[in-house]
Structure 1
Amino acid sequence: MADSYRYRCGECGHRTAWGSESRGAEAIEAHYGRRHPNVLPGGMAEFRKGSSFDGSGCLLVLGVLVLLLVIASRR
């Protein structure tokens, strides 16, 4: 999951390399400092598809909690 983030410049479309969230943020700030010195950093962050986080773990935990609540309410 360390190489799951990439940032895109909102001014010119420049993209950082895939990396950690903090490295991408630093890279886009450096880009804005060099190319767009009088503009606040903006743009968007991309999260790589197929990365290890897909949210299914949270869904499983939520399902188990609902099941436990149903069982507890019947007693």
Structure 2
Amino acid sequence: MADSYRYRCGECGHRTSWGSESEGQRAIEKHYRHDHPAVVPGGMVEFRTGSSGGGGRGCLLALGILVVILIIASQH
């Protein structure tokens, strides 16, 4: 999940690219120093979810259906 953070400037809407939390912090601070030197860095942080494997609910649902089918098949 190294590429799960993106920072948005609170002044102009500039967005950093997706990256690690520390990379995003450095990028937004650099942006503020260059484009808004008299303003304290602000804005918001976006967190990308569901993008790094793991399967999620779909895999769990498929596994549950498979278990039910196996239980039904083993009783016959």
> TM-score if structure 1 supplies the norm length?
0.67
Measure, in 1, the Cα distance between the counterparts of 2:44 and 2:18: 13
Aligned residue for 2:10?
10
2:23 is aligned to 23
Matches within 5 A, 1:1-75: 1-52=1-52
Unaligned runs of 5+ in 1: 57-75
**Gaps (5+ residues) in structure 2?**
57-76
Q: How many residues align?
A: 55
Q: CA RMSD in A?
A: 2.0
Equivalent in the alignment of 1:64: none
Q: Distance in 1 between matches of 2:23 and 2:7?
A: 10
CA distance in 2, matches of 1:31, 1:14: 8
Local SS of the residue matching 2:42: coil
% identical aligned pairs: 75
Distance 1:46 1:17 in 2: 11
Per-residue deviation, 1:49:
2.4
> Normalising by structure 2, what TM-score?
0.66
Cα distance per residue 1:31-53 (max 9 Å; x no partner): 0000000000000000012134x
Deviations, residues 22-74 of structure 1 (Å, cap 9, x unaligned): 0000000000000000000000000012134xxx9xxxxxxxxxxxxxxxxxx
Q: Which residue of 2 aligns with 1:68?
A: none
Deviating 4+ runs (over 4 angstroms): none
